[in-house]
Amino acid sequence: MERAVVRITLIGHLIHNFCLLPLVFVQDNWNIYSFHINSTVSSRYATTVITSRVANRMAESKEVEFHVRIPKNAFITKFRMFIDGQVYDGNVKEKEQAQRQYTTAVSRGQSAGIVSSVGRTLEEFKTSVTISAHNKVTFELTYEELMKRTLGKYELQIHARPMQPVKDFKIDVHIQEKAGISFLDVKGGLSTNALANAITRTQADKQAWVHFYPTEDQQKACDSCDEQGLNGDLVIVYDVNRNSTLGDIMVSKGYFVHHFAPSNLSRIPKNVVFIIDRSGSMHGRKIEQTRTALIHILGDLAEDDYFGLITFDDKIFHWKQELVQANSANLDSAKKFARRISDRGGTDINRAVLEGSNMLNAHPREGSASLLILLTDGDPTSGETNIERIHSNVRQAIAGKFPLYCLGFGFDVNFEFLEKMALQNNGVARRIYEESDAAIQLKGFYEEVATPLLTDVTMSYKGGSNLTQTVFSQYYNGSEIVVAGQIDDNNIDSFIPQAVTFSETNSPVETSETVSENQTQRVWAYLTVKQLLLLMSGPEKEEVKKNILELSLKYSFVTPHTSMVVTKPPGETADVLDKPKEGKQESRIWGNPLQGALPPPPAAAAPLPGAPGPRGSTLYTRLGARPTAKGVCFVKQQNKCFFSLTVITRSKEIDIAAGDARIVIIVHEKAGREFLWPVMRQKPSTTNIEGLLGEVLVCSCSCSNINVLFFFCCSAVGVHYSVTPPETLICWLSPADSALQRPLNDFFVAQL
């Protein structure tokens, strides 16, 4: 067989590969001399300001990054930089408009900002600016969020990760609640014995303060801290007093916000059907954790509850054909059934949910609350697989009589499909992360809905308009219903709120307490946008998007439909910061596309407009799972670290910065298939870097969340024998071991 001849273009530079966790600043070059986080919570609405002051200690201009993490539930509302007495404000714009500006910047080889998901509860905000020698910059980021009450408490999560010990480090939290604060606690990874004396808290009747002022030595001492300083969360936990009015209403400048969380109510017996995916993709730890969680949940059922169990793959399996009482004999039998659940077959979600709906519909009980809980890790692959028809079938079967809760296990699941199905049926979708505590996650979700107190809750407001959601199928112990709206003509005298519910006695309950609140209008806007975002998959999508844009631009919310344009000093291009779409995975691991047959490049492919690359700079490879990892590597030059390499991904491209070198890998789609297309935008100014040589540079990382991967680009003809008939390729992807003629590990260094 004729062998493919591959010639690697050598340009005298590449990277000695050594990968670390993502960095914010290279400590040798920068001094973060002040890092403050100030959070003010007023009537459950939190406004947090992160201020970082950085000095360039080098004798030359350097690019410095601002890199922080914020809660996913929050909206960024302001970003500013202070340089040489000038203020550079960020502006919120329509995403498409901002993206056009950003694309133009990338085509010229310039950098851009990013907001991406990190883990379960955080998003990462990143931007940068060039600072002249011995100069300073102040970064200031503001974000807002409405606190959600879960299991009887509110939690304010503050993440601290400046990436070096900071002399002037402070976290200040001030809570103001007119209803009064019933308890206050401080938790999280930064609330440890080593940092205990750095935390002070003070609680009065309607106010509370928490201060966290660790010394530089203490910033290296906590469980998740090291020489790079703090890395963890400070979680402020509290609740407010509840009185007989069953709620409080904040009124200000023609707007109101109603917090409805009645206490001292008797629990309502429930009817619950668990629908468990047992298809082949649930193999291994997923099915084991599901069995563990289900057995625990069954043990928590009350004797006046009724329940049913359904497992499914491409067939449906009933533990019992009808709901049964949760007595000891039935629970023991159900637990034995749960222990025998094993994985096999396809995924018939449609039939499984319809069977569960039929079980609840066949067992109506006055004075009880019914709910359906689906757990799956994949797409519908058996039976009815058309998503729209499944949605229609489920909606007709449930007919608004009870909520459907969808739990998506892992990131292979079609979360948008589950989310839409849940929202159409008065429920919510929740992602279960495929980690060691998945069983605890499952049990934790169940606890949120385990104790219904009210059903068919309708909030009405005479003299009110532009209301957020007012109808709720159920109210659960420890939760809270929040409704906001406008008061007609700002006439408080004619404004009459009422909450009509049906408890065990079916008697209506009324509440009408009014207090003053300054942030009411922003809370209304925040809550309205959050709820509109959940309706984006509905038939009135364009109208909903228009309303989201209007409110987001007016109140400067960075949402999935708006972007923050970060203005910079003259000579630098503005960054564009986007919020990830809810329900999307934003931090997948780099897959290894070097294994298996490589497809030929798409026919008639041409460089994208404004993005021509040098000879040999085009790379095609099938995209099995789109790379969306972020990693940072140090580069070795003359036996010292001198810059970092950062990989940042977006929906249609991957940006790589290595010192002053810039690479853009564009995601190209042809005939429904996706390909990676890297282009060298700016070659590095230095040519004395030790290491492997190649035309396109990508770091070979071996981090905790990034697999080893290396790109090679060829500028000579090769024959692709993995397809029939063989095809001649001008540019292809070569495995590192083959191109280098020895294992890639031989080129790694253990220490710089």
CB atoms inside a 10 Å sphere around CB 454? 24
Q: Do strands 514-516 and 248-252 pair parallel, antiparallel, or not at all (unpaired)?
A: parallel
| Gap between the Cα atoms of 307 and 325, Å rounded | 7
Please tell me the predicted confidence (pLDDT) of residue 180.
92
332: confidence class by pLDDT, cuts 50, 70, 90: very high
Residue range 66-71: mean pLDDT, rounded:
89
Instruction: With 0.75 as the threshold, say if the pTM is over it.
Output: no
482: confidence class by pLDDT, cuts 50, 70, 90: very high
pLDDT at 302 over 90: yes
Specify which residues 309 forms β-bridges with. Answer: 274
| Gap between the Cα atoms of 200 and 214, Å rounded | 11
Report which of residues 587 and 65 the model is more confident about.
Answer: 65
The full DSSP string for 114-160 is: EEEEETTTEEEEEEEEEE-TT-EEEEEEEEEEE---BTTBEEEEEEE
Report which of residues 116 and 294 the model is more confident about.
Answer: 294
Residue with tokens 């008939």: 725
Please tell me the predicted confidence (pLDDT) of residue 345.
82
Please tell me the predicted confidence (pLDDT) of residue 30.
75
Closest C-alpha among 608, 655, 609 to residue 628: 655
Dihedral pair phi/psi, residue 745, rounded to 5°: -60, -25
721: confidence class by pLDDT, cuts 50, 70, 90: very low
DSSP letter (8 states) at residue 589:
P
Listed in sequence order, the residues at least 6 apart from 737 whose beta carbon sits closer than 8 Å to its beta carbon are: 743, 744
pLDDT at 746 over 70: no
Closest C-alpha among 118, 115, 122 to residue 235: 122
532: left (phi over 0), alpha (psi -120 to 50) or beta: alpha
Is the preceding peptide bond at 607 cis, omega within 30 degrees of 0?
no
| Gap between the Cα atoms of 262 and 39, Å rounded | 28
Closest C-alpha among 456, 386, 453, 451 to residue 421: 386
pLDDT at 22 over 50: no
Report which of residues 413 and 580 the model is more confident about.
Answer: 413
Please tell me the predicted confidence (pLDDT) of residue 519.
86
34: confidence class by pLDDT, cuts 50, 70, 90: very high
Residue with tokens 């003629």: 741
Closest C-alpha among 110, 52, 104 to residue 81: 52
Please tell me the predicted confidence (pLDDT) of residue 633.
31
The Cα-based distances of 687 to 278, 342, 637, 691, 698 in angstroms read 56, 58, 10, 11, 16
Residue range 587-592: mean pLDDT, rounded:
27
Amino acid at 431: R
Which residue intervals of the chain bear CATH 2.60.40? 30-240
DSSP letter (8 states) at residue 281:
G
Report which of residues 720 and 310 the model is more confident about.
Answer: 310
Contact 256/206 with Cβ under 8 angstroms?
no
pLDDT at 169 over 90: yes
Closest C-alpha among 407, 409, 406, 405 to residue 433: 409
pLDDT at 591 over 80: no
Contact 331/299 with Cβ under 8 angstroms?
yes
The full DSSP string for 183-251 is: EEEEESTT-SGGGGGGEEEEE-SSEEEEEE---TTGGGTSTT-BTTB--EEEEEEEEE---TTS-EEEE
pLDDT at 696 over 50: no
pLDDT at 638 over 50: no
339: confidence class by pLDDT, cuts 50, 70, 90: very high
| Gap between the Cα atoms of 379 and 424, Å rounded | 18
The Cα-based distances of 19 to 488, 700, 713 in angstroms read 59, 8, 22
CB atoms inside a 10 Å sphere around CB 332? 11
122: confidence class by pLDDT, cuts 50, 70, 90: confident
Amino acid at 43: S
Closest C-alpha among 650, 658, 597 to residue 627: 650
Please tell me the predicted confidence (pLDDT) of residue 509.
41
Which residue intervals of the chain bear CATH 3.40.50.410? 270-450
Is domain 270-450 in CATH 3.40.720.10, yes or no? no
Listed in sequence order, the residues at least 6 apart from 410 whose beta carbon sits closer than 8 Å to its beta carbon are: 286, 377, 432, 433, 434
Give the burial class of 252: count Cβ atoms within 10 A of its Cβ; 0-12 exposed, 13-18 middle, 19 or more buried. Answer: middle
Please tell me the predicted confidence (pLDDT) of residue 551.
94
Report which of residues 480 and 125 the model is more confident about.
Answer: 480
Give the burial class of 77: count Cβ atoms within 10 A of its Cβ; 0-12 exposed, 13-18 middle, 19 or more buried. Answer: buried
Please tell me the predicted confidence (pLDDT) of residue 346.
85
Residue range 532-545: mean pLDDT, rounded:
79
Q: Tell which CATH classification among 2.60.120, 2.70.50, 2.60.40, 2.40.10 matches the domain 30-240.
A: 2.60.40
pLDDT at 193 over 90: no
- Number of alpha helices (DSSP H) and beta strands (DSSP E) in the chain: 10, 39
- CA torsion 205-207-208-213 (nearest 10°) is -140
715: confidence class by pLDDT, cuts 50, 70, 90: very low
DSSP letter (8 states) at residue 350:
H
Length of the chain: 752
DSSP letter (8 states) at residue 732:
-
Please tell me the predicted confidence (pLDDT) of residue 659.
53
Please tell me the predicted confidence (pLDDT) of residue 597.
29
Contact 238/154 with Cβ under 8 angstroms?
yes
Residue range 699-707: mean pLDDT, rounded:
32
pLDDT at 674 over 50: yes
pLDDT at 141 over 90: yes
Closest C-alpha among 677, 680, 748 to residue 708: 748
The Cα-based distances of 97 to 103, 566, 582 in angstroms read 10, 14, 21
The Cα-based distances of 379 to 382, 387, 585 in angstroms read 9, 9, 16
Please tell me the predicted confidence (pLDDT) of residue 330.
95
pLDDT at 350 over 50: yes
Report which of residues 627 and 298 the model is more confident about.
Answer: 298
The full DSSP string for 529-566 is: HHHHHTTTTSTTHHHHHHHHHHHHHHHT-B-TTEEEEE
pLDDT at 51 over 50: yes
Run of H or E including 419: helix 415-423
128: confidence class by pLDDT, cuts 50, 70, 90: confident
Contact 311/355 with Cβ under 8 angstroms?
no
Average pLDDT, the chain: 74
138: confidence class by pLDDT, cuts 50, 70, 90: very high
Q: C-alpha 458: how far from its chain's center?
A: 31
| Gap between the Cα atoms of 375 and 338, Å rounded | 14
DSSP letter (8 states) at residue 282:
G
Residue range 226-248: mean pLDDT, rounded:
84
Tokens of 436: 């060691």
668: confidence class by pLDDT, cuts 50, 70, 90: low
Give the burial class of 58: count Cβ atoms within 10 A of its Cβ; 0-12 exposed, 13-18 middle, 19 or more buried. Answer: middle
Residue with tokens 């990190």: 118
Contact 562/552 with Cβ under 8 angstroms?
yes
Could you give the angle at which helices 328-339 and 285-299 cross, rounded to 10 degrees?
180
Is the preceding peptide bond at 725 cis, omega within 30 degrees of 0?
yes
Contact 377/286 with Cβ under 8 angstroms?
yes
Contact 272/305 with Cβ under 8 angstroms?
yes
Listed in sequence order, the residues at least 6 apart from 35 whose beta carbon sits closer than 8 Å to its beta carbon are: 51, 52, 53, 160, 162, 166, 168, 169, 170
CB atoms inside a 10 Å sphere around CB 108? 11
Could you give the angle at which helices 387-398 and 415-423 cross, rounded to 10 degrees?
30
Amino acid at 258: H
Contact 240/181 with Cβ under 8 angstroms?
yes
| Gap between the Cα atoms of 301 and 450, Å rounded | 8
Dihedral pair phi/psi, residue 395, rounded to 5°: -60, -40
Report which of residues 286 and 616 the model is more confident about.
Answer: 286
pLDDT more than 70, % of the chain: 66
